[in-house]
């Protein structure tokens, strides 16, 4: 009974993290060397998923791309969190290309996007990201030498928060994590104001994009205002470490 519950719990956790990992683990349980069987099965399923997903209306953003649009970490591809609809893929690619034209050498980094299959399957810890029409972008950063190509303050692009005022109360439970203990660990990069302002304006001007979420103090720092650029609300995670965008 304990082994059944253990393997069931592992399958649930892997499903939550990767959508297909739970099924891969159940297959692996039929073999003696479960870990090796899981790695091989999961790898094969991940490759197959990239081929099958377009039939379900989603396409994988490539982790092998060296162009102006890149996935920030291989982790997002390994966890199958790099899927979007073709329309969103086109919007992201166009924005990245335009940014590179305006500011040569600029790399636009995608963080969490969506899973490959099933509508309304949650991509935790996000409250949305469940239909292929949402994606997060990393901020552009600089140091004393100027723009830092492809750099983020944290290894995964999240949780390196920009300080600024908020009207949200500190309540529990809440998705507005501060991770105060982590903040001193991040590099002392600052926001590249012209690039971040430009990408927000590009996205806001794109008729395909319906909403963009950043913290109000970020929009104020960047001196940008647009009806599409909004505050996500106090119930959702903080958006002063990344940009959230979604289709109409």
Question: Using 50, 70 and 90 to split pLDDT, how confident is the model at 20?
Answer: very high
In tens, the pLDDT along 186-234 reads: 999 999 999 999 999 999 999 999 999 999 999 999 999 999 999 998 8
From CA 128, how far away is CA 102, in angstroms rounded? 31
From CA 82, how far away is CA 196, in angstroms rounded? 22
**What pLDDT sits at residue 131?**
94
- What residue ranges define each of the domains in the chain, with the CATH number in brackets? 1-56 (no CATH), 63-247 (3.30.1380.10)
**What pLDDT sits at residue 139?**
98
In tens, the pLDDT along 83-101 reads: 999 999 999 999 999 999 9
From CA 154, how far away is CA 74, in angstroms rounded? 14
Predicted confidence (pLDDT) at residue 159 exceeds the cutoff of 90:
yes
Query: Measuring CA to CA, which residue among 177, 198, 181 is closest to residue 241?
Result: 177
**Cβ-based neighbours of 238, under 8 Å, separated by 6 or more:** 161, 176, 177, 215
Question: Using 50, 70 and 90 to split pLDDT, how confident is the model at 171?
Answer: confident
Structural contact between residues 186 and 160, judged by C-beta atoms closer than 8 angstroms:
yes
Instruction: State how beta strands 146-147 and 190-191 pair.
Output: unpaired
* Global confidence as pTM: 0.93
Predicted confidence (pLDDT) at residue 113 exceeds the cutoff of 80:
yes
Question: Using 50, 70 and 90 to split pLDDT, how confident is the model at 174?
Answer: confident
Average model confidence (pLDDT) across the chain: 94
More confidently predicted of 173 and 39? 39
Kindly report the length of the chain: 248
Share of the chain above pLDDT 90, in %: 83
């Amino acid at each position: 009974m304990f082994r059944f519950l253990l393997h069931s719990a592992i399958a649930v956790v892997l499903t939550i993290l990767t959508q297909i990992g739970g099924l891969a683990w159940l297959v692996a349980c039929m073999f003696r060397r479960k870990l090796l069987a899981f790695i091989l099965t999961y790898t094969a399923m991940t490759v197959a998923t990239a081929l099958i997903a377009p039939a379900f209306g989603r396409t994988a953003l490539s982790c092998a791309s060296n162009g102006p649009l890149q996935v920030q970490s291989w982790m997002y591809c390994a966890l199958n969190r790099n899927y979007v609809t073709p329309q969103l893929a086109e919007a992201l690619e166009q924005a990245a290309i335009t940014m590179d034209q305006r500011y040569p050498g600029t790399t636009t980094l995608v963080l969490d996007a969506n899973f490959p299959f099933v509508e309304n399957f949650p991509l935790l810890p996000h409250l949305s990201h469940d239909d292929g029409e949402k994606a997060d972008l990393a901020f552009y950063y600089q140091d004393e030498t100027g723009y830092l190509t492809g750099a983020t303050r944290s290894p995964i692009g999240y949780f390196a928060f920009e300080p600024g005022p908020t009207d949200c109360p500190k309540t529990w439970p809440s998705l507005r994590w501060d991770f105060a203990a982590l903040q001193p660990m991040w590099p002392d990069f600052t926001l590249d104001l012209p690039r971040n302002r430009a990408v927000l304006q590009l996205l806001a001007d794109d008729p395909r994009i319906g909403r963009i979420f950043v913290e109000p103090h970020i929009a104020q720092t960047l001196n940008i205002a647009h009806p599409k650029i909004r505050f996500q609300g106090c119930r959702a995670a903080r958006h002063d470490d990344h940009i959230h965008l979604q289709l109409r």
